[in-house]
Amino acid sequence: MNTLVLTAHGSKDPRSAANARAVASRLVRMRQDLDVRIAFLERNSPNLVDVLASLPDARRAVVSPLLLASAYHARLDIPKQIAEAGAYGVRQADVLGEDDRLVSILRWRLAEVGVSGRDRGLGVLVVAIGSSDGAVNARTATVAAKFAKGTRWAGATMAFATGPQPSVAEAADRLGRLGARRLVIAPWFLAPGRLLDRVQGYARQAGIAMAAPLGAHRLMVETLLDRYDQAIAGQAAA
């Protein structure tokens, strides 16, 4: 049996690890041919190094990042921990990225708080975690345009909870200048956590509605499985 090592960032907030475990549970239900194991890069256990070191055959394993962006953790941290574990032959799948299925989840999260694509007076703040890599932020910023496609909203724009501009407050001001009479925040986050709580605090003070993060949705799991299958196919073609 091949192994999928679902690898999350890890957090001091237990809600983050709980979401990762919920994703792993859905993976098990949707692909019973896989040995699904969960690992964390930091702050939670089991850590990735220990999980990889415990595998009977790393050549039959794929490390599947539960990460949205191809930033530091995907490009440097995971390869470093793979090397520390001596897991030679293990493959690393791509990150989730700006997949259309994840954008669909975001739309459903907004529908849960009563948002319609026909609301001409609405401005949507898609809020993500920023990176020190400008190219990563530029790719993340494409989510807002994808999200707004086919709607009648006054506008949709990306804001970053950390790092680069625009901040959430700056993006909210920009949407107001574009004519938005009402705002809503759509978190481009995998799970609840302390950083998202700060965004929620801003939303509450500003009177802005906020949707839930992406969470352990079926389409999230389908995207992970696609990345896993691509990693397997890539090795077969090599």
CA angle 225, 2, 104 (to 5 degrees): 5
For residues 90 and 124, membership in a common domain is answered with no
The number of folded domains in the chain is 2
For residues 6 and 39, membership in a common domain is answered with yes
The predicted pLDDT at position 234 comes to: 87
Alpha-carbon gap, residue 77 to 29, rounded angstroms: 29
For residues 112 and 142, membership in a common domain is answered with yes
The angle that helices 218-237 and 100-112 make with each other, rounded to 10 degrees, is 170
The pair of three-digit structure tokens given for residue 170, joined into one six-digit string: 């700056």
Domain limits for position 191: 100-210
For residues 111 and 202, membership in a common domain is answered with yes
- Give this prediction's pTM: 0.96
Termini Cα distance of the chain: 21
For residues 233 and 183, membership in a common domain is answered with no
Nearest Cα to Cα of residue 126 among 159, 99, 100, 102: 159
For residues 53 and 108, membership in a common domain is answered with no
Alpha-carbon gap, residue 176 to 178, rounded angstroms: 5
For residues 119 and 163, membership in a common domain is answered with yes
For residue 91, the domain's CATH number is: 3.40.50.1400
The DSSP 8-state label assigned to residue 93 in this structure reads: P
Assess contact for 126 and 145: CB atoms under 8 A: no
For residues 106 and 186, membership in a common domain is answered with yes
For the chain, 238 residues long, give each residue's pLDDT as a single digit of tens.
999 999 999 999 999 999 999 999 999 999 999 999 999 999 999 999 999 999 999 999 999 999 999 999 999 999 999 999 999 999 999 999 999 999 999 999 999 999 999 999 999 999 999 999 999 999 999 999 999 999 999 999 999 999 889 999 999 999 999 999 999 999 999 999 999 999 999 999 999 999 999 999 999 999 999 999 999 998 766 5
Residue 132 sits at φ, ψ, to 5 deg, of -75, -10
Instruction: Report which residue type is found at 71.
Output: A
For residue 186, give the H/E element and its range.
Answer: strand 182-187
Q: Specify the long-range contacts of residues 74-80, CB closer than 8 Å, at least 24 apart.
A: 77/41, 78/7, 78/41, 78/48
